[in-house]
A and B are shown apart, each in its own frame.
Chain A
Amino acid sequence: MALDQEMVRRIATLARIKVPEENLAPLAGELNNIIGWIEQLSEVDTDGVKPMTSVVETVAPQREDVVTDGSAPEKVLKNAPQAETYFYTVPKVIE
């Protein structure tokens, strides 16, 4: 499954990373090398094997569905690059 430039452009969009046009080809080469090396996993017989979902054999803990935290808008917004009156601000999204 070789990655071409078009695929790299698509992945970059999915990952929300701007990749300059001239970097697409070298990046495709690099990613292909890595993916090509990963392909050796096809040698492993995994028929009937369950995918690992938890590395430790345990059941997920349960707790009461109650609010344990909150009411700290200043703390939440403290590191925002831009915020106004208890809101994060972003570029306009509605035309």
Chain B
Amino acid sequence: MSQEILSLSLSSARDALRIGDIGAVELTEAYIAAVETLRSLNAFITETPELALEMAKASEARLAANEGGAMEGIPIGMKDLFCTEDVLTTAASHILDGFLPTYESTVSANLWNAGAVMLGKTNLDEFAMGSSNMTSHYGSVENPWRTSEEDNKKYVPGGSSGGSASIVAAHGAIAATGTDTGGSIRQPAAFCGIVGMKPTYGRCSRWGVIAFASSLDQAGPLTRTVRDAAIMLGAMAGHDPKDSTSMNLPVPDYEASLSGDLKGMRIGVPKEYRIDGTPADIEALWDEGVDWLKSAGAEVVEISLPHTKYALPAYYIVAPAEASSNLARYDGVRFGLRVDGNNLQEMYENTRSAGFGEEVQRRVMIGSYVLSAGYYDAYYLKAQKVRTRIADDFRQAWDKVDAILTPTTPSAAFAQGEKMDDPIAMYLNDVLTVPASMAGLPAISVPSGLSKDNLPLGLHVIGKPFDEATVLKVGQVIENAAGFTAKPQTIAGG
């Protein structure tokens, strides 16, 4: 039974809980046991089994009284970037040692109000800066996938939401939250063979989410199916007066939008996303994706997004600049680590030198440089102008198409340790996801096939602002056509 229970998608588990086929406590107990068997993945920084059981018992009571919410009794992982009241919150950084928030982030509170059960806080790249989950102070996360049973290499789960992606793929959580600044939900989802959705900037509140780059950060779900993503996004989203960039718009019933019918819809394929050196298997999958959408009734047209190649370098000005400002608060005074010095200045410098890892230091320094007197116009202002042009490219595309199809990543997962000595090679992981981030657009990664080495690959659908419903609908058509049923080598109950 345990294996069967762990294989249920969020929507199936929800339905089974509602009709009483399974109990909320039974489901949570199965996941607590699964999490224990999956510890080698290092997907959690903090496990909260006692809290999970307590929440599951409350869910059981609400379900019995027919008062269950949209996520009632569903055990999930919470990325350790969301502040959770009285539960250790680290951002995978040494500098937040022992931080116990006195408040709950809006997104996590929304999920608990919808009945979700917290299994623990998932691992990530330090302050969400990374594409491999190798920069966590709490150690790297392993991808549950390998090329074969005989392959003894360890692969990265992607990042920064690597712990969330790994644990959902390995059936150690039904779903998990992520945050996406330049691809941090979509790239790990692609690498781990699951669904990952970044909604429009402003759809989910950023209040209580530890800030990386405030004009880019968005929370979203990592799930096993597109339907699950629709359900979970609906529970996470909504206006929050505590985040002035959160939009006061109604949240549609996303699940109801999954009609499977693309008749009359136009889908764009941007020619600039055909990058030199893209592996043949990814090109082939993309072509297959086009055929799937045509079969569902969509018209597929080639479009041009001329500033695509400048999105990533512009991102590496904007994101570090905002990070250097946001991370100024870690000064050894208000929370976390303090390393003493002979004076205040030394205390700051010692604390930040010991508390931040290499990649975080690198980005804070780049940010400080591009914002410093004499360089601001040449770098930061220039990047914000390029960003306007990137957003304009998309705006023009929306005159011709309703959604855009691309691959999610330029490669499948790579082995741990690769690309570590070359920051730019690591940054290039996000070359296909960053443009949508720069324009604040909703986008989903759907597992669509296997690479020539048998590792998962994702297709990526980008939509118009606040049109998550279309993104999900197109995503589900791809999911159904792809029929992706392959499972990772490491899987609970498997």
A: which residues have CB within 8 A of B? 1, 3, 7-8, 10-12, 14-19, 27, 30-31, 33-35, 37-38, 40-44, 46, 49-58, 60-61, 63, 72, 75-76, 78-82, 88, 90-93
Contact = CB atoms under 8 A, between A and B. Distances in A.
A17 B332 CA distance: 12
A37 B316 CA distance: 10
Nearest to A37: B424
A89 B275 CA distance: 54
Interface in B417-443: 423-424, 438-440
A8 B99 CA distance: 31
A81 to B, nearest CB: 4
A65 to B, nearest CB: 14
B413 to A, nearest CB: 24
A18 B350 contact: yes
Interface in B313-328: 313-314, 316-317, 324, 328
Contacts of A54: 215, 245
13 contacts: A16-B345, A16-B348, A37-B316, A38-B317, A41-B314, A41-B317, A55-B201, A55-B391, A56-B440, A58-B247, A63-B241, A81-B332, A91-B344
B352 A44 contact: no
A91 B340 contact: yes
B383 A41 contact: yes
A80 B334 contact: yes
Contacts of A63: 241
Contacts of B313: 37-38, 40-41
Query: 5 tightest A-B contacts by CB?
Result: A51-B384, A55-B440, A79-B335, A81-B338, A46-B385
Interface of B: 98-103, 200-202, 215-216, 241, 244-245, 247-248, 307, 309-310, 313-314, 316-317, 324, 328, 331-338, 340-350, 352-353, 356, 361-362, 364-369, 372, 375, 378-379, 381-389, 391, 423-424, 438-440, 465
Contacts of B333: 80-81, 88, 90
A78 B100 CA distance: 8
A14 to B, nearest CB: 5
Contacts of B247: 56, 58
Contacts of B368: 11, 14-15
A56 B440 CA distance: 7
Nearest to A16: B348
A15 B324 contact: yes
B366 A31 contact: yes
A40 B201 contact: no
Contact of A41 (B248, B310, B352): B310
A3 B375 CA distance: 12
Contact of B347 (A15, A60, A90): A90
A92 B60 CA distance: 55
Nearest to B201: A55
B385 A93 contact: no
Nearest to A48: B385
Contacts of B335: 79-81
A44 B307 contact: yes
A22 to B, nearest CB: 14
B347 A44 contact: no
Nearest to A12: B365
A41 B13 CA distance: 49
Contacts of B334: 79-80, 88
B480 to A, nearest CB: 31
Contact of B389 (A44, A75, A88): A44
B327 to A, nearest CB: 9
A56 B344 contact: no
